[in-house]
Structure formats: C-alpha cells, structure tokens
Amino acid sequence: MNIFFLAAISLGIDLSIGDPRWLPHPVVLMGRAISLLDSKLNNIEDSFVFQRWKGLFTVLFIVLGFALCSKLCIMIAGHFDHWLGIFLSVFFGFTTIASKGLCDAGTFVDQGFDQGGLEEARRRIGQFVGRDTDHLSEAEVVRAVIETLAENTVDAIFSPLFFFCLGGAPFAIAYRAINTLDSMIAYRNERYLHFGYFAAKTDDFANFIPARLSIILLLAAAFLCHENSKNALRIVRRDRKKHPSPNGGIPESLFAGALAIQLGGVNTYGGILSRRGLLGDPEHPLRREDIQRAIRIVRVSTYLAGVLLIVLGVFL
C-alpha cells in the first residue's frame, strides 16, 4: 500500500482514539531504555569529551535499536501475512503521533479553570511543562499552554508524519526515539550538559525541515480559522530567531502572530530564571479563550496534513 496512505491511516487512528492507556506504547519502552543507559553511563565526574561520547552512544543505541526492531517486526509479520505487516506499520506509525492527545491536554488545562480555579489550572499545566508553575498568573498559564501546543504541533504531528513519508514506520519510530531522548536527557544543567549534547543536536537536526514545512499548513489553518494569517507570516519572519531553539521559534511565533498575542518572556526552572525573546506583539492580553483558538489551529492544520497525505497518495 502507498506509504502516504499508510501515514494518513495512522493519523486518522490517532485522531480517533489518541493514546489509550491500555495500549502498549513503544515510547514507554524507549523511556525505560533511556533511563537505564542514563543511570549506567552518565557520570559527571568523567571528562566532558567522554561524557559526550557516551551520550552519542546512547543516542545511536536507542534510535537505531528501536528503528531496527520495528523494521524487523514488520518484516517478520509481512512474511507470514502481507496485511499483518501493513497493520503493524500502521500501528507503529500511529504510536508516534499525538495530535488528539495534544489537543486534549490543552482542553484539560483549560477546563481546570472551571473545575478548580487558577490553582487547578496551574497543577494541570505542570503535568506538561518543565517550568515552575506554582505561582503562574492566569495569563502565564495560558501562555504556557499555547507555547506547548505550538511547539508540539511540529514535534508530535508534523515531524513523525514527515519521517513516516520518508521511510515508513521505522523512520517514524526513529524520530520518536530522538524526540524522547531530547525530552529526557537534553537539559542544560550539570548532569546533562555534555551527556545530552548529541541528543539535543540530533533533535534540532531532525526537526529542521518539518518545522519549516509546518509554516504552510499552519498559515492555511490560521486562515481557515479566521485568525490573522497575514500577521502570522509577518511575525514568524521577524521573531522566529528570538527563540533559543532553531525550530521552536517557528511555530511559536506563528501562533503568536495568528492570535495577535505575545509569547516568550521569563520562565523559572527549579527556581532559576530563564529569559526568552518576546514573540509577537501584545495586541491584546492573554485570555483563556486563546487556548481554544490555538487548539482549533492545531486541529485544522492536522486535518490539512491528512488531506495532503491522501492527495500525495493518489498522485504519487
């Protein structure tokens, strides 16, 4: 079956059921394997060169190991039954995408305002971000949600689909392993500064093209959602390089422009202040309703990605 159709089916399943807790998930195994290697190999008393070499080994072992295992499983399944191999490809592809889970997370935090006020919303957003959330204002909670939605539209939707289209489910699994490594060991603190160096660089490299391709889909989605797509393009051109990530600034500045809000600024991590460049213009203060506006852009851009995959499947 055409690889674009397989990617579209994987996306459709994710949109329908998300990530049910009862379903075995490769990311859980990735997390356990990364934690094991971290505990065995990461020693801050080693020289920074040795730490980086061990970090590189960790990246290669996890990424290649999970990609090859998924490829082997698909080959074995396909040897017994062609459709079983296709089913396994779709299953692995589906587990790398988190479009429904991303939108559900945004709604979960938004509903926290109604169910327990600001304190509950803070608690809920704390489940999804690394920054300190105990003293966030309502506007800061909203900012944290929208920044998470924007960045993960690339990480959790467009990038895995891009790699699936490049090389099938094993490539998508490889990308998910890269992204999981980045989320677990690519921190700029004493423990991970060198050990996580290659994890961070590999994630930057993997997301470079998908982040830039995402501009087209996100601008189209903003237009269809009656948001300011023209301003979004202006802001992404102006502000994308103000973000510390070479890729994260693209979707975040685009969302800021589309919603006519300002993202970025000061966050705290473990009590330590971190200042980021300001993205967008504060044409209006951040409000709760901006969360649902951002979720609509995520959903519509995901639907557009699905349509694009089907079109590519028909003509290629």
Percent of the chain at pLDDT > 70 equals 100
pLDDT of residue 95: 96
pLDDT of residue 87: 96
Give pLDDT tens digits for 134-178. Answer: 999 999 999 999 999 999 999 999 999 999 999 999 999 999 999
How much is the average pLDDT of 281-309? 97
Asked if residues 281 and 242 have their Cβ atoms less than 8 Å apart, the reply is: no
pLDDT of residue 270: 81
pLDDT of residue 1: 79
Is the predicted pLDDT of residue 133 greater than 90, yes or no?
A: yes
* Dist. CA 291–CA 294, nearest whole Å: 5
Domain residues for the domain of 270 are 3-315
* Dist. CA 236–CA 199, nearest whole Å: 26
| Mean pLDDT (the chain, rounded) | 95
Q: How confident is the model at residue 275 (pLDDT cuts 50, 70, 90)?
A: confident
Asked if residues 244 and 276 have their Cβ atoms less than 8 Å apart, the reply is: yes
For 274, phi then psi, to 5°, come to: -135, 120
How much is the average pLDDT of 299-311? 98
pLDDT of residue 109: 97
Report the predicted TM-score, pTM, of the whole model to 2 decimal places: 0.95
Is the predicted pLDDT of residue 308 greater than 90, yes or no?
A: yes
Other C-beta atoms closer than 10 Å to the C-beta of 253 total 28
Is the predicted pLDDT of residue 271 greater than 90, yes or no?
A: no
Asked if residues 246 and 282 have their Cβ atoms less than 8 Å apart, the reply is: no
Number of structural domains, the chain?
1
How much is the average pLDDT of 249-259? 98
Give pLDDT tens digits for 200-240. Answer: 999 999 999 999 999 999 999 999 999 999 999 999 999 99
Give pLDDT tens digits for 19-57. Answer: 888 888 899 999 999 999 999 999 999 999 999 999 999
Please name the residue that has the structure tokens 């090859």: 68
Give pLDDT tens digits for 76-103. Answer: 999 999 999 999 999 999 999 999 999 9
Percent of the chain at pLDDT > 90 equals 91
pLDDT of residue 282: 94
Please name which of 70, 76, 75 lies closest in space to residue 92, comparing C-alpha atoms: 70
